[in-house]
Structure 1
């Protein structure tokens, strides 16, 4: 499993270097780091968008009702994730920019079957680059 996580981190670093540019239409530049820390929420892109659109008073309930779940292959790879989880100063590998408000990262996430590296969407504002 560590070998798979190392491969994901290497791919993320290469992808970040290739995507760290300001677009011609004036969108904010991609994060210019490969490793960061996230404090906030992360999960499937749809779940994160729904969570962000949820009124403040219902956010805790949304997280409780939609826990992150992933299919785990025999090789220990997580895929087909749904739902959302909270992250507290979790070290992540910055993978790709989804749009100006969200990015994809690889984070170690606690699932029913153990802790696995998972590709998840997170709000861009919740990621702090590490040097």
Structure 2
């Protein structure tokens, strides 16, 4: 009987700890409100290297089109077909993405299929968090 009681107590404790850990994982830390809690999303807007996206967002609205035209996204493509060392920026229209990481409150890194000079490749890019719509 003691064994059954101890086993029940241990199971109840483990369940409570697991539930608490899950609740803590879903609760954003202070200062990180609005963090995306999804793995898959759709993006409509711009995406590219972190520096290019930050510069684009800092550009006055009347000059953003020119910024897009002057800074097209470019990446190195390895022999295995992996994109890296990307610079520049591109537009995305309802592009399905894998949400990778929250950079800060305004930017999120995602993996998206991007048209490059040599074809379309999955690329790790940065997008404004407000442009990501989570998919269930």
TM-score, normalised by the number of residues in structure 2: 0.79
Residue 100 of structure 1 pairs with residue 105 of structure 2? yes
* Rounded Cα–Cα distance in structure 2 between residues aligned with 1:112 and 1:21: 42
Aligned twin of 1:90: 95
* Rounded Cα–Cα distance in structure 2 between residues aligned with 1:93 and 1:120: 10
Question: Is the Cα contact below 8 Å between 1:72 and 1:78 reproduced in 2?
Answer: yes
What is the aligned-residue RMSD (CA, Å)?
1.2
Larger Rg: 2
Aligned twin of 2:28: 22
| Residue 68 of structure 2, aligned match among 57, 63, 72 | 63
Residue 43 of structure 1 pairs with residue 43 of structure 2? no
Q: 1:43 to 1:20 in 2, by over 3 A?
A: farther
Question: Is the Cα contact below 8 Å between 1:36 and 1:91 reproduced in 2?
Answer: yes
* Rounded Cα–Cα distance in structure 2 between residues aligned with 1:88 and 1:71: 23
* Rounded Cα–Cα distance in structure 1 between residues aligned with 2:31 and 2:100: 21
| 3-state DSSP of counterpart to 1:94 | strand
Pairwise CA distance, 1:29? 4.5
Residue 123 of structure 1 pairs with residue 113 of structure 2? no
Structure 2: state its 5+ residue gaps. Answer: 1-24
Pairs aligned (count): 112
Q: 1:110 to 1:20 in 2, by over 3 A?
A: farther
Structure 1: state its 5+ residue gaps. Answer: 1-18
Pairwise CA distance, 1:27? 2.0
Higher helix proportion: 2
Pairwise CA distance, 1:54? 0.3
| Residue 110 of structure 1, aligned match among 99, 102, 115 | 115
Residue 74 of structure 1 pairs with residue 82 of structure 2? no
* Rounded Cα–Cα distance in structure 1 between residues aligned with 2:44 and 2:126: 13
